[in-house]
Structure 1
């Protein structure tokens, strides 16, 4: 495998609206990120991915961009952003922006011009089609529910939006659109970006005939992702994108890909893949319900372990996945992937151990390193996320009680990850001296950075140790390029594996169970290099793991 500059890096995702507010308006800003760069450097971070800060109406929290060349004034100025790049560079930290190019905002000048002349030049920047018998052109369901087509008032035309109606899809089959987007991408890379996280990119391919497909729900619609999966030719489109932009800058790219075909992994993230890496969403997919959150299955430990190891096997001789516990589109991993009896600092250390030492690029989401959890809301009115509100309404319409619909939101809402970062036990968790744009999780008095900075045994300091272990001169090569070899797969509630290369191995053991567990290793002397508890009962190759104990041995 060809070695790349980013293979041994650790990344951190910032959701800027909720990270750190410096001007008291209740919204996080770029200046807040600058102020916390030393915190991130001390954590061991090499790459920061910042969710969208472009000019936007924020209908979908910045994923509806109205001007790709401007910083939204709520987050700061272009000068602030250029200072951020420069200050990060001084600390050997690269900055990734979010690249949202499947769609833009309905407030973008392109779309406004398109509405003025649907059959003109800018009309072809989007997908306008005439309806059929007073109905939309086909039966695609948007990712946020309902038809993926919105009627243009006073006409027979509809426009396609695979996400919210305020997010019209861009026509990637129009060379002018690609030229505009490539120029914009190169403009940002020339400013010194390290690369991009690329949003919903599979959706750029379309069946231009827009034929209705067999419905997959009682509403008569078919999920937009299903429609995207059925269309060939995405590889040529992505290769063209790479060669005209990322490749020229040796940029790091991480793709959000949910509906890729299984035989395309090497094409996507191999040595000459379309992207540097892509997120491993296999655990997230375990929570997908047949209709929505209200009938989503519970994630079992066995399924979680199985899909993680499956992803590791799939990619071991192909490329690097980006490993996550959570992100801005998911609930908190500490509330999802560990049992209730383990939802404490010890259990969170255990989850971090098995995730951060896997083969791949670790992506830590803001607040994960202190163990932030899902946030209980009193009612649906306390949620802001468009998807959460749609899911709640969908559940109620299906006959689910409001109490159970709200429980589904507590377990699955994206707003769980978007509550303000908990910096201290002071007012508004130290996030702002104004009114926060979204409710602060009430547990900030107990879970915050300030407290954990001052405790040697805290989760925050454990994350620092984990990252330092990955980067140590002694183990960097092994933990970067060594394969993941699962062990004790038949042991109940045990998550264990070896990282192995030609020079040696590291053993990672974790007991997700409620009872102590004795594991028999090869009969040789092992040395403990990390332990989430104070002691370990180990003799003659036998290791006794307490409930929620995780250890790393050499």
Structure 2
């Protein structure tokens, strides 16, 4: 497709989870000054766009995704002056800052909700969803994303308020034009400050089926997942177009949306040239990790299923727009422990996974620590976890009959806290993250896996990420890696993930061997090796203009077809 070029198309993005990134004041919690301190590190890595998870004032029931004041920086992270300095320092380096935009819900400590509780039949009650119970029960039988009913009774009344997430996160009523106006005003205030845009949280949830019907239960608790109602809601696009028109469009802002439960034919509406957002995260790989009832019955990694959904999502967006490609974020376990077979969970495997991800069509998003191959962290007990969802999933597993050890193993494989352990800057105490006591356990692997050691090693995971990003953004190959078509290759090979990126008569083959044994791939043309992740990878001519690519186990190669 002939895509209208945008300023963000050739960029590489990086997510910072501020609480765990870099602590400069010794309180064990990362802060804005810690981000400023590491801007040069990120610039050298090749990062252009930085998305920072919530910095707003919050009680931190859900790690800042419960916002009590949209206009304030939480003191734990610093001051608004610190944030203004961050914007200034980023601009000096030609870097762009994104904030997290959480507008499906707020905190129950937000002034609006406090006023609603004080007068449950008044003006501010209509900022939320206050519904009467039915026959002494909640209005409907939806299960929240974090377990239990989505309805919380308002003390002393027969009213219940809706919360699709934790009870401390009441959903905002987007049907109320005053609410929308207040939110748009806030968004424009931040964009006027100099933000480049937003990552937009859980946005599909803003549209409800207003009759709130009950459905057939899907569990022993008599409840049904709230996504059932969300998927049946019609008209979310009208809200999203108004949001874009009243805010993002005016500032040429970049927006990346977290979208689940989108209807099949809506991709163009979401990320087409006139779409609601610049791009949205591709969560299709994550879908192959889901269990039927929770983490405890999640399947083992299935390479072929994973490859299939990856190929499918790349093909589906081909003539529509760009997806944002990720292998991990603050809500997921570490990619190096999730999307690699056991035999490939090593440095070569991590580099291989990086190769296949960074060179896909779309906008690459790295998550802090991904570039050094940070891994999941085994906790000794459930008490060491902080995440609300992890605690819920642990209890689900125990109720299903799993032992404490088995339930903890499920958490080790899937917990969001795996991505939230402190960034491993060095082999010093607390991984160089803080001089105090870290708010969450530091992964013991920091002695072996840390930035300081990898910066000194030309063969490290970090050094390889730098080479990969440099190749993607280089003058010679930037156009093909940004705008080139995606074409799967060697699909008949059971453990090979390979694809061509092609544009204007040029082709580049990206091939990776996820299997245990060496693979020999026959290529119809000759090729020149642009990058490989290990020794022992060769491409040799075999006559009649063909080549043979020898890929050891965990080998990955990037080859320009001549």
Per the alignment, residue 104 of structure 1 pairs with 106
* CA offset digits 1:418-445 (Å, max 9, x no partner): 0000000000000000000000000000
Q: Which SS does the other structure have where 1:473 is aligned?
A: coil
Is contact 2:301–2:341 with CA below 8 Å preserved after alignment?
no
* CA offset digits 1:458-495 (Å, max 9, x no partner): 11011011111111010000000001100001101101
Kindly indicate whether residue 377 of structure 2 is the aligned counterpart of residue 371 of structure 1.
no
1:147-546 alignment, distance < 5 Å:
147-522=149-524, 524-540=525-541, 541-546=547-552
Question: How far off its partner does 1:261 sit?
Answer: 0.7
Instruction: State how far apart, in whole Å, the 2-side matches of 1:227 and 1:293 are.
Output: 23
Per the alignment, residue 121 of structure 1 pairs with 123
Q: Which SS does the other structure have where 2:550 is aligned?
A: strand
Moved more, 138-147 or 219-228: 219-228
Unaligned segments of structure 1, at least 5 residues: none
Instruction: State how far apart, in whole Å, the 2-side matches of 1:218 and 1:288 are.
Output: 19
Q: Which SS does the other structure have where 1:229 is aligned?
A: helix
Instruction: State how far apart, in whole Å, the 2-side matches of 1:212 and 1:337 are.
Output: 37
How big is the alpha-carbon RMSD for the aligned residues of Structure 1 and Structure 2?
0.7
Q: Which SS does the other structure have where 2:393 is aligned?
A: helix
Instruction: State how far apart, in whole Å, the 1-side matches of 2:521 and 2:40 are.
Output: 41
Per the alignment, residue 55 of structure 1 pairs with 57
**TM-score for both structures, normalised by structure 2:** 0.98
Instruction: State how far apart, in whole Å, the 2-side matches of 1:309 and 1:394 are.
Output: 33
Question: How far off its partner does 1:536 sit?
Answer: 2.3
Per the alignment, residue 41 of structure 1 pairs with 43
Per the alignment, residue 554 of structure 2 pairs with 548
Question: How far off its partner does 1:398 sit?
Answer: 1.8
Instruction: State how far apart, in whole Å, the 1-side matches of 2:76 and 2:65 are.
Output: 15
Instruction: State how far apart, in whole Å, the 2-side matches of 1:367 and 1:259 are.
Output: 29
Q: Which SS does the other structure have where 1:245 is aligned?
A: helix
Instruction: State how far apart, in whole Å, the 2-side matches of 1:520 and 1:461 are.
Output: 30
Is contact 2:536–2:552 with CA below 8 Å preserved after alignment?
no
Instruction: State how far apart, in whole Å, the 2-side matches of 1:388 and 1:447 are.
Output: 25
* CA offset digits 1:326-365 (Å, max 9, x no partner): 0000000000111122111111000000000000000000
- 4+ runs deviating over 4 angstroms: none
**TM-score for both structures, normalised by structure 1:** 0.99
Instruction: State how far apart, in whole Å, the 1-side matches of 2:487 and 2:512 are.
Output: 15
Moved more, 59-68 or 500-509: 500-509
Question: How far off its partner does 1:9 sit?
Answer: 0.8
* CA offset digits 1:219-274 (Å, max 9, x no partner): 11111112101011011110000000000000000000011011000000000000
Instruction: State how far apart, in whole Å, the 1-side matches of 2:309 and 2:94 are.
Output: 34
Q: Which SS does the other structure have where 1:423 is aligned?
A: coil
Instruction: State how far apart, in whole Å, the 2-side matches of 1:397 and 1:509 are.
Output: 44
Is contact 2:67–2:110 with CA below 8 Å preserved after alignment?
yes
Question: How far off its partner does 1:216 sit?
Answer: 1.6
Per the alignment, residue 148 of structure 2 pairs with 146
> What is the number of residues matched between the two proteins?
553
Instruction: State how far apart, in whole Å, the 1-side matches of 2:318 and 2:508 are.
Output: 16
* CA offset digits 1:175-223 (Å, max 9, x no partner): 1100100000000000000000000000000111111112122211111
Unaligned segments of structure 2, at least 5 residues: 542-546
Q: Which SS does the other structure have where 1:527 is aligned?
A: strand
